[in-house]
Amino acid sequence: MRKCPVCQFCNMDSRDTCLKCGTALTVKPGTLREPRRIPGANLYWKLNAQLMKSLRQFRRALSVPLPQYVPHRFPFVAAFLALLPGLGQVYNHQPKKIIWFVPPFVLFLGLAIHYITTPYWGNTWIVCTFGVMMFSFSDALLAAAEINGQTFTFRNRLAALTYPIFLLGAFSFLCSLMACMHWPVFTQFHVRQDYMAPVLRSGDDVCDEGITYLFRNPRPGDVVRYDPPPYQVEVRKANGNDIYVVDPQNAWERVLAVGGETLERRSGAYYVDGKKLSKAYYPLVTDPGIFQSFKITCPAGKYLILISNLPEDNMPLIGGGKVPDFNSPNVTVTGWESACCVGKSRPVLGGWASVPVIFTRAWFIYSPSERRRFFQAEGPRFEQENH
């Protein structure tokens, strides 16, 4: 039997090469050749050796030994703290690792915020930011396990990465379930009409949140999703009057005033108690299609949310498919002012129960990327406060 010098496989005496790995078992006369000299080979190997040496020194400089004589570390506590990169590493008594995660996280997060409305690049930096968070999660989990004397294989480490993704899915399911029970936490909506253009266009995806209004009431400047009350439109014609009931549902609009305040529109500008509103606090549809001038006083305990346009679903029901001129003497609108003043809820079943009118606060548009924006008004409410 001939034993292979490479794989130690035992071959039959008649074989010249190893059956398993193909290594020559005997050297025949004349088969050995003088190795060919390759120009620059020595330089290549020298550069390669220097590069590997530099990499080893770099890894040695960044390596952080496991801390000794520390209390038991809870791996998943460290992991979920590390979703804010650096925090889980501090929990593991490895503060030197902060340099691994905090600078890349801050860099990618800054780029994601800067390019948030740029197609492709915005999503790329968001993915990079999420990748740093997942790497920090995995590192903190593995380090905590090794501190406790446990061993996490690559398969265990890969499986552990599914925990935050699973929890994200479970949280999304819980939010959907609570939204069905009329207690929304986070909800997403796809806009299918352009009647709120240019702020909301067909194809926009809007994220709402209902947590804020568990702790405070709506304020001027908030954009809310709500169910406006119906109102009537009467169009006088030669052969008789046509009466239409307009009931817009699931609308978005900005809160302009609260109970006790008076909203007025004149000369294309909005005034609250005689003070001119800043542009950031204007309605989403700044040029209303209903009235060019009006004056409304909001009752106590209610919020003035202007019904400034008609949805396309109501247009075929009015004026033969065309929205009438509400400033025309032949058109009478009944109940519009009261429909613009709503409470957070309205009683049903004779007052034994109530249903919400203001559902959630519109947070931001998250898709498409070039349309991303927050709805919250910023800055002073009135123009004279700017001076």
- What percent of the chain has pLDDT above 90? 17
**Section 265-277 average pLDDT:** 90
Are 236 and 198 in contact by the 8 Å Cβ rule? The answer is no
CA distance 324 to 334: 14
**Section 66-88 average pLDDT:** 89
- Residue 383 pLDDT level (bands cut at 50, 70, 90): confident
- Residue 28 pLDDT level (bands cut at 50, 70, 90): low
Q: What is the pLDDT of residue 302?
A: 92
Give the containing element (helix H, strand E) for 179: helix 162-180
Q: What is the pLDDT of residue 385?
A: 55
Which pTM value belongs to this model? 0.66
CA distance 161 to 141: 10
**Section 342-358 average pLDDT:** 79
- Residue 326 pLDDT level (bands cut at 50, 70, 90): low
Give tens-digit pLDDT for 145-182. Answer: 888 888 777 787 777 777 878 887 888 888 777 767 66
Q: What is the pLDDT of residue 276?
A: 92
Q: What is the pLDDT of residue 30?
A: 55
- What percent of the chain has pLDDT above 70? 87
- The answer for 55, left when phi > 0, alpha when psi is -120 to 50, beta otherwise, is alpha
**Section 16-26 average pLDDT:** 78
Asked if the model's pLDDT at residue 90 lies above 60, the reply is yes
Q: What is the pLDDT of residue 325?
A: 65
Q: What is the pLDDT of residue 37?
A: 52
Asked if the model's pLDDT at residue 98 lies above 70, the reply is yes
84: tokens are 């804010």
Give tens-digit pLDDT for 102-125. Answer: 999 999 999 988 888 787 888 899
Distance of CA 243 to the CA centre of its chain: 44
Residue at token pair 């930011």: 129
- Residue 75 pLDDT level (bands cut at 50, 70, 90): confident
Q: What is the pLDDT of residue 146?
A: 86
Q: Which residue has the higher pLDDT, 300 or 59?
A: 300
Average pLDDT in the chain:
81
- Residue 207 pLDDT level (bands cut at 50, 70, 90): confident
CB contact set of 319 (below 8 Å; sequence gap of 6+): 235
List Cβ<8 Å contacts ≥24 apart for 126-132: 129/105, 132/85, 132/101, 132/104, 132/105, 132/108
Asked if the model's pLDDT at residue 266 lies above 70, the reply is yes
CA distance 161 to 156: 9
Are 235 and 244 in contact by the 8 Å Cβ rule? The answer is yes
Lowest mean pLDDT of 37-46, 96-105, 285-294, name the range: 37-46
φ, ψ of residue 28 in degrees (nearest 5)? -80, 145
Asked if the model's pLDDT at residue 348 lies above 80, the reply is no
CA distance 191 to 135: 36
Q: What is the pLDDT of residue 47?
A: 83
362: tokens are 């519109």
Are 377 and 221 in contact by the 8 Å Cβ rule? The answer is yes
Structure letter (DSSP) for residue 148: T
CA distance 371 to 352: 43
Residue-level length of the chain: 387
Residue-range domain boundaries for the chain: 66-172, 189-386
- Residue 213 pLDDT level (bands cut at 50, 70, 90): confident
Asked if the model's pLDDT at residue 307 lies above 70, the reply is yes
